Structure 1
């Protein structure tokens, strides 16, 4: 059976580093502050907010919640974000998406100061993957995938990596992160030529699936010796979370695989809080 690349130990190791950084900030009289903007009462958003808040507070990060009704006007939401921009005591901001359909998401996203965009809402998030001088932070889920591979000391340089899915929030930034590690990356779109996707997956050293399509990656996609990172998380009709990988078929074949749940998702909130702490560190260095 494959080695399970569990996210818990990765998050714990990251948390220890963040505790040290928060201690340094505290000595300088700085408390990292994290703003969470939520529109409406979606159960998934509330659940994630609860988990992110718990993680942040455990690491010494203060959380300020801005909860707005689903009927909020675009100008009211923009005004809220502009207030967060002006507040020098707030270091990072997460805004839950998707927003209600009556709101212009691109306009709202452009409002947030890129230096406070810890969840890759602004266009600067992609820029930071292309240029070290860009302002911003990598999308949290994409970075969580990289953190897991690094923690388990899986070499990336020169490896062939196939990424399934090309979304701006996960697939494409994941591919760019892996390219920055000097891997050779192929990006597949699940709607075109599935036979090509299977071939590219079988040829790869590492498969990263971010398609959001339960059971997509079956035994036909894999071979012995591969590493599989399952980023896709879908709530099934059975009320359970399912990944892109048919784990019962794939686990007996590959060398290592991330579980769902308990894999990439369990690291993502720690990456998010880490971005807030990093933003506070950057502000401290800038002010000195």
Structure 2
């Protein structure tokens, strides 16, 4: 355990093409869960918490960590499982993570190990389980399935975010011009796709969606095989970075390697934090980077691209 606690911060500085490092952890059962190491700031034993008035009991309180006051979320209770009893809090661990510009700590029963794998080894959840769940991906490890939780969905349920674009960004003139354009959104999180789609449709653009990089690449190549120019069809592609089967870095690289769509405008977005994202954006040839999710900033990126296209 001490090795994990000491090295998480160092491991978060590593990034590679279609590569994924998962921190494995457990909740109230023997089921293993995983979280992308790049989202993790640190792991520590749960300190004494400060109670706060709250609408949901899943928020256990506030932890004071390295000069910050951070909300602590009982991850087991947040996904509908049994909550961790108050008398057991001192025996738990906190995974301090950053999502969508928000720092919070997930309370878990145990932290297992860091596992190095590839995004193409990660699978989307079976369609048969439906959409009313908190799974974003699964993969097999040591003969059992490890579940990767859709943290964006969990946080959206706890902290609903507005998706309307302000009139200052989306003026009537901008909305009229936006109706002539089409954007492809790529994201494995259903809540993230829906948030972006609602915001961009509020702006006025037509939106198509894909669940991961492999699906998006298949869609683009299918259009090309029908002699449809995707550079003319789509104003831009806005893709998540961390996705099962094919991540956003690899998708961008594949787009740039295909001469038929090498000029397609690609913006990568992510809930991750850190300067390494910007350097990787440049390395794979993406045209921009966007920290998600803010409806006005998302719309602003699209509006700027519309102006670029109209100016030739």
| TM-score band, normalised by shorter chain | 0.3 to 0.5
Q: Calculate the TM-score normalised by the size of structure 2.
A: 0.33
Larger radius of gyration: 2
TM-score (norm 1): 0.35
Q: Which has the higher helix share?
A: 1
The structure showing larger relative contact order (alpha-carbon pairs under 8 Å, at least 6 residues apart) is: 1
| Structure in which a larger fraction of residues adopt strand | 2
